[in-house]
Amino acid sequence: MEIKPEIRTALFSMYSGDLGFFVRSVGECRQYPPNHQRVKIAPFAQIFWCISGSGEFQLGGGCFRLKPGWVWYYPPGSLHSYVPDQEGFHYRWLTLDGPQAGNLFSALGISPGAMRAGSCPHEPFQNIEANIRKPARQMLILQEAFKILTDIRTPRRIRANSRRPDLAEELKRVVDEEFDDPQLNVDVLAARIDRHRVTAGRVFRSRYGINLSDYLINVRCQEALSLLSDTDIPPAQLPELCGFSSKTYFYRVIRKITGETPGELRQTRRKGNMPSPERK
């Protein structure tokens, strides 16, 4: 089997001031097995934003497969342990150091582990790369870092495109990016495009051949099935991650479409009989 080389860009700051937190390093990596990150305990805060492929991360005895649109956060003092999957793992990373770095992430509500954040915002990463070796520009660098951190915390927005999308496409993008918000429903979606719910449903079905409400449920279910297949996250935690309004509703929907409870599906996966679902 051909072993693909690791492709890595890593840039480090020369800052030596007394700020409570500062950008320590930034980079981009394409990693393939058997290459992997050296397991280490790191004194700084670090995020990994998956662009393509996937990587398996570990934290507190559990593991999670980080996929495109997801971000992983290791707080200061964490044991860093992650490996690329067979198809490779392409990601951008950012580290913040200083005595208040961990408190910054906590204050922004960024918790250790995985968060769904949408597509990677390449421009602020690139701006940091262009300036990180210039200590006098640390405040400018921090400004770009804040853009990245706030993108993690506020992924629920329609990112600007060079062209204005049609209504059906815009509705689909909102569902695909924000399905994990339990408040998202047809009324909210219709308001996003400034149309009545009947109009929103009609234009969506005309384009994609499925009811808007059914598509939203389907996306949530596919995410739940993927997490059941690819992670060890307890089933009781999945409703919140996948946008279901209650555990009871989540269990009822999963059992209706699969004939099994989430716990039974997890056992099926461990026996090797449950394929990883792919969202259409």
57 close to 114: Cβ distance less than 8 angstroms: yes
Number of other residues whose CB lies within 10 A of the CB of residue 43? 13
Whole-angstrom distance, CA of residue 197 vs CA of residue 209: 17
Q: Which two tokens stand for residue 61?
A: 């005895």
Mean pLDDT on 59-81? 88
At the top level of CATH, the class of 161-280 is: mainly alpha
Q: Specify which of 120-134, 182-196, 229-243 reaches the highest per-range mean pLDDT.
A: 120-134
pLDDT of 37 above 70: no
Whole-angstrom distance, CA of residue 81 vs CA of residue 24: 20
Q: Which two tokens stand for residue 138?
A: 């640390």
At the top level of CATH, the class of 7-153 is: mainly beta
Sign of the CA dihedral with 223 first, then 226, 231, and 233 last:
positive
Task: Give 193's pLDDT tier (boundaries 50, 70, 90).
Answer: confident
Task: Give 269's pLDDT tier (boundaries 50, 70, 90).
Answer: low
| Mean pLDDT (the chain, rounded) | 86
Whole-angstrom distance, CA of residue 21 vs CA of residue 206: 51
Q: Please report, as a single letter, which amino acid is at residue 266.
A: R
Mean pLDDT on 65-86? 90
Task: Give 23's pLDDT tier (boundaries 50, 70, 90).
Answer: very high
Q: Burial of 140 by CB count in 10 Å (0-12 exposed, 13-18 middle, 19+ buried)?
A: middle
| Confidence (pLDDT) at 103 | 96
Mean pLDDT on 113-121? 87
Q: Torsion angle of alpha carbons 46, 50, 56, 58, nearest 10°?
A: 20
pTM of the model: 0.60
Q: Please report, as a single letter, which amino acid is at residue 50.
A: C
31 close to 19: Cβ distance less than 8 angstroms: no
| Confidence (pLDDT) at 118 | 82
Listed in order, strand segments (DSSP E) in 109-253 are: 113-116
Task: Give 214's pLDDT tier (boundaries 50, 70, 90).
Answer: very high
> Among 164-173, 189-198, 211-220, which stretch is predicted with the lowest mean pLDDT?
164-173
Give the list of residues 6+ apart from residue 162 with CB closer than 8 angstroms, or none. none
b (16+ CB within 10 A) / e for 8-20:
eeeeebebeeeee
Mean pLDDT on 35-57? 87
- Characterise 52 by phi-psi region: left (phi > 0), alpha (psi -120 to 50), beta (else): beta
| Confidence (pLDDT) at 144 | 96
pLDDT of 95 above 90: yes
Q: Which of 7, 27, 31 is nearest to 93 (CA)?
A: 27
Task: Give 270's pLDDT tier (boundaries 50, 70, 90).
Answer: low
Give the list of residues 6+ apart from residue 150 with CB closer than 8 angstroms, or none. 108
Residue-wise pLDDT tens digits, 232-244: 888 999 998 999 9
Q: Which of 97, 100, 115 is nearest to 26 (CA)?
A: 97
Task: Give 2's pLDDT tier (boundaries 50, 70, 90).
Answer: low
Q: Which residue has the higher pLDDT, 280 or 127?
A: 127
| Confidence (pLDDT) at 4 | 60
Q: Is 111 helix (H, G, I), strand (E, B) or coil?
A: coil
Task: Give 162's pLDDT tier (boundaries 50, 70, 90).
Answer: very low
Domain boundaries, the chain: 7-153, 161-280
| Confidence (pLDDT) at 158 | 41
